[in-house]
Amino acid sequence: MDEAITHQRELFALLDEIFQKATGKTPRAFAALDQFSGAVQSLKRRTTEVEGAFAWGIPKLYELYERLRTSLFAAASNQGGLKVVLGGTSRFGQSQLNVVRRLILYADTVLVPDPVLAWIETDRREEKFRHIQLLEAMFFLLRLKPLVDSECAYPPIIVFPSYERTLARRDPQTQEELEQFYLDTFSPLFEQDFDSFLDFMAFTTFNEDSFLEIVDRKGLFVGPGGPIGEPLRAAIGRYREDIQIYRSDEFLAHLSQLSEAEFVGNALMERLEPQFHLIRNATELRAQPLLALEQHAYYFKLLASLKDDALQEQQIISAGTRATIDALSRTHFSWLSNVGIDALAEMRLNNENDKFREQLSKATSVLADATLDDIDRVAAEVTRSIGSLVNEHRHEAQNLENKYKPKYAEMAATGWMSAGGLIIPHLSPLVPVAPALLIAGKYVKTKLEERREKKNLSHSLLGILASAKDAPDSIE
């Protein structure tokens, strides 16, 4: 594991160097978390530097990834404790960063398929802004660097190369498994017995109205950023608007030749392929799946309803823990993402996540029979439990205030102006010096004790949660 930690730090150091060569700034100095898209416009004046940074850095990344090809994946697999693995998309933006931050409060280790590798392992000719997307992945991923560099006994995160696109396009075994995955998914959904991928494509071509009616009735297609259950026409329009912005002209020309049913079928497979890789990673790494967006979670739950027995048999899903992770990843708990990265690193050094999980486990023990369909019930219980933790902190903070108020009152009664005379220079000639030194000494000592206890309390899990609850969004 020590070697894996060293390798991961080496990877993050190189990513940080590439980003700074390209932008001239650290990720934090470049932009606030919610302002990347605006700040990236400034790079139009640094085209030469950006191109030079990639020309210098990408070959070094290839070399490093080749050297680390198996070590970080093996470390992720061998890591003990409660693990979650991120999936549902190859992108790593603010939503993905925030859900990682939330789960670091709960899980022992969050496993992240390397989102930078995802942009350079294949040519990505379908994407219009490949280099911008690559910088964006670095921008958000590097926010986790303090956790990577921390001296935790075991790593809070492991970013591992997954090679998902390479395997899906070049590895015959993966291609065969992916095709079977589609068949096992589409056959029950469309009430057909597809024997091959060609059977499915034929169904979309020759049964277009039936195909689209089933997709619409069962709510199988969710547009980018769209609500679950949106009418198919609206979801298709949302998807077309998205690809017009982000996809290459070559890819758009290919899609324009498809019928509407073929277009939707292609988009469905685009939605489902990341789910295939997530389930595969979860199985091999013995980790709980973690999804950042409601739309991705919707597809995972759809697949789980079709493949529940297989997932349970492989112990990918343990009902209570799965439901708690799902609850924590919901937008209702987005405020948990306001815990600063530096605070997270300190918290993990103190193993505060164990205490948090223990508290939630006690509170949610009544939900031992929870399933993936019980998320609202679990979320309500988790909300109540976290609320109790935050209230406990505020109660302890008030007790601390009450503890020191009498001490300050006592000092005021026995010569507070003497202390004031020492602290405020223009009063010093008017008061005796010796009592001032005595009272001031007591005051300073008491104040230091109070500050130390308040600092300890603020750095506790309860303090972290309470400050996150009141903090603004997009906190560093």
- For 64-116, how does the pLDDT look when each residue is reduced to its tens digit (9 = 90+)? 998 888 888 888 888 888 888 898 888 899 889 988 888 887 788 899 999 99
Amino acid at 295: Q
Bridge partners (DSSP) of residue 264 are: none
In this predicted structure, the answer to whether residue 409 has a pLDDT above a threshold of 60 is no
pLDDT for 461 equals 43
Contact 72, 158 (CB under 8 A): yes
Sheet holding 83-87, edge to edge: 157-160, 109-113, 83-87, 288-291
Tell me how far apart the terminal alpha carbons of the chain are, to the nearest angstrom. 28
Interacting residues of 288 by C-beta distance below 8 A, sequence separation 6+? 82, 83, 84, 85, 107, 282, 316, 317, 318, 321, 322, 325
Amino acid at 42: S
CA distance 326 to 367: 14
In this predicted structure, the answer to whether residue 446 has a pLDDT above a threshold of 60 is no
Residue for token pair 């000592």? 445
Taking residues 309-319, report their average pLDDT: 50
CA distance 8 to 74: 13
Contact 116, 142 (CB under 8 A): no
Amino acid at 341: I
Question: In degrees to the nearest 10, what's the CA dihedral of 349, 351, 353, 357?
Answer: 180
| Residues in the chain, overall count | 476
pLDDT per residue as tens digits for the range 326-342: 666 665 556 566 667 77
CA distance 160 to 118: 11
Strand, coil or helix: what is 214?
helix
pLDDT per residue as tens digits for the range 109-143: 899 999 999 888 887 788 877 888 899 999 999 99
Tell me the two tokens of residue 419.
């202390």
Rg of the Cα atoms in the chain:
27
Distance of CA 381 to the CA centre of its chain: 22
Which of residues 442 and 320 earns the better pLDDT score? Answer: 320
On average, the pLDDT of the chain sits at 76
The number of beta carbons lying within 10 Å of the beta carbon of residue 390 is: 18
pLDDT for 338 equals 65
pLDDT per residue as tens digits for the range 224-275: 888 888 999 999 999 999 989 888 888 899 889 989 999 999 999 999 999 9
Taking residues 433-449, report their average pLDDT: 45
Q: Which helix (H) or strand (E) segment is 93 a member of?
A: none
In this predicted structure, the answer to whether residue 300 has a pLDDT above a threshold of 70 is yes
Strands annotated E in 268-321: 288-291
Amino acid at 47: T
In this predicted structure, the answer to whether residue 197 has a pLDDT above a threshold of 80 is yes
pLDDT for 12 equals 96
pLDDT per residue as tens digits for the range 351-407: 777 777 776 666 656 555 555 555 566 666 666 666 666 555 454 444 444 554 444
At 426, is the pLDDT very low, low, confident or very high (cuts 50, 70, 90)?
Answer: very low
Taking residues 189-200, report their average pLDDT: 90
The number of beta carbons lying within 10 Å of the beta carbon of residue 380 is: 14
pLDDT for 434 equals 40
pLDDT for 2 equals 78
Which of residues 325 and 397 earns the better pLDDT score? Answer: 325
Rounded to two decimals, what is the model's pTM?
A: 0.77
CA distance 9 to 31: 23
Q: What DSSP string runs through 183-205? A: HHHHHHHTT----SHHHHHHHHH
Distance of CA 134 to the CA centre of its chain: 17
Which of residues 4 and 234 earns the better pLDDT score? Answer: 234
Q: Which helix (H) or strand (E) segment is 85 a member of?
A: strand 83-87
At 19, is the pLDDT very low, low, confident or very high (cuts 50, 70, 90)?
Answer: very high
Contact 23, 70 (CB under 8 A): no
Tell me the two tokens of residue 280.
């595969």
Contact 372, 301 (CB under 8 A): yes
Q: Which helix (H) or strand (E) segment is 315 a member of?
A: none
Interacting residues of 435 by C-beta distance below 8 A, sequence separation 6+? 415, 418
Strand, coil or helix: what is 290?
strand
**How many percent of the chain have pLDDT more than 70?**
68
